Amino acid sequence: MLKNFGIIFIILSVRILLSTPINFEGQSSISGFNNPLYSPPRFEYRLQYIPIISLEKQYDNSGLFDAEWAIDFNYTSYVDSLSMTNYRSWIRYKSKDIEIRAGIQKLNFGPSKLFRALQWFDTLNPIDPLQLTPGINAIRFRKEMSQTSYYMMWIIHKTDEMISLEPHQSKKGSSEFGGRYQVLTKYGEIAVTSHFRFIEPGVEKLPEFRLAVDGSVDMGINTWFESVFIKSKGEPGFIDFQQMTTVGVDYTFNIGNGFYGSFEAYRYHSSGRNISSNTIGKLGVLFSYPLSIFDNFTSISYYDLELKESFQYVAWQRAYDNWTLDSGLFLYQSTVGYQIILTYYH
């Protein structure tokens, strides 16, 4: 259940931890929500606690070693059971221009906020105030080539769990690898990302290759894009080609405490042998306004161009030093749902 953390922590304690203070922090939350996607809607509640142990050893000339270990204790009323998962367990070496991290970690990138075409390795949701996502078991290497560019490479060991937006399962126990190169220009950033893995859409193992380009430009009004191409060797009846594109814009208006607005458009297309092609188009709008130093209001709206359906979400957050209270209302078609989350950080 808590795979891989034992070896990492043993190595950690022997090599760098005997003379290093241990930092202990965490977050606990209780949430209740009425899910409008169920018929009839039902009330559920969840209790969650994530303790986090972190350590750091600084070396004057060669950089630093640090590590983090976190367990996710989660009780959900609907399944009426307590789960315990290894949320994070990684060790890292970092110098002036090199970073190497190994273990269960978060890996995400791309500028989009609502429709993330580059959401390859996480499950982050813009309407989740806690912004939690399971980690992936990976080795990641990052090299700063200059003050304006870097490249990153990774190897991922795949488990039997699906990640994010994948339509096909990776081959269990296989390794995936990829990389990303990003450049900062006079007007913004641009990056190229690729990834290779083996998938199992049926009984046969098939190769899959992903290529993406993303960038952002800030010339008073911030704009960005993400474009992803995914190609696999197709079997009849399975998706073997996907293309996803997101374009977006945001701006903070000088109104009151600062009124923030963001707009994104998203297009998804897929095709395969002996199946009909599928195209999806969506529009999204996000508004945010700080009512005070403690309170913030957020509104998110989605519209599906093919289904002619909309989804609205409005939320209010009150934040203190160690506590946050989040409440939100959902409107999907004619059904209303809500969520309330009380979180304590220590």
Instruction: Please say whether the beta carbons of 212 and 190 come within 8 A.
Output: no
Based on the domain organization, do 258 and 169 belong to the same domain?
Answer: yes
Q: Quick one: pLDDT at residue 2?
A: 44
315-330 pLDDT tens trace: 999 999 999 999 999 8
Instruction: Give the number of residues written for the chain.
Output: 346
Based on the domain organization, do 40 and 68 belong to the same domain?
Answer: yes
Give, in degrees to the nearest 5, the angle at Cα 202 between 201 and 206. 60
> Does some domain include residue 95?
no
Instruction: Please say whether the beta carbons of 73 and 120 come within 8 A.
Output: no
Looking at per-residue confidence, does 34 or 102 come out higher?
102
> Does some domain include residue 133?
yes
Q: How would residue 267 be classed by pLDDT, with cut points 50, 70 and 90?
A: very high
Based on the domain organization, do 252 and 300 belong to the same domain?
Answer: yes
Q: Does residue 166 register a pLDDT over 80?
A: no
Of the listed ranges 24-33, 165-174, 184-193, 293-302, the least confidently predicted one is 165-174
- Enter the pTM of the model: 0.87
172-221 pLDDT tens trace: 777 899 999 999 988 899 999 999 988 876 667 788 899 999 999 988 89
62-103 pLDDT tens trace: 788 888 999 999 998 877 788 999 999 999 999 989 999 999
Q: What CA–CA distance (Å, rounded) separates 12 from 4? A: 13
CATH number, domain containing residue 125: 2.40.160.100
The range of the structural domain enclosing residue 230 comes to 106-345
Say how many domains are in the chain: 2
> Does some domain include residue 100?
no
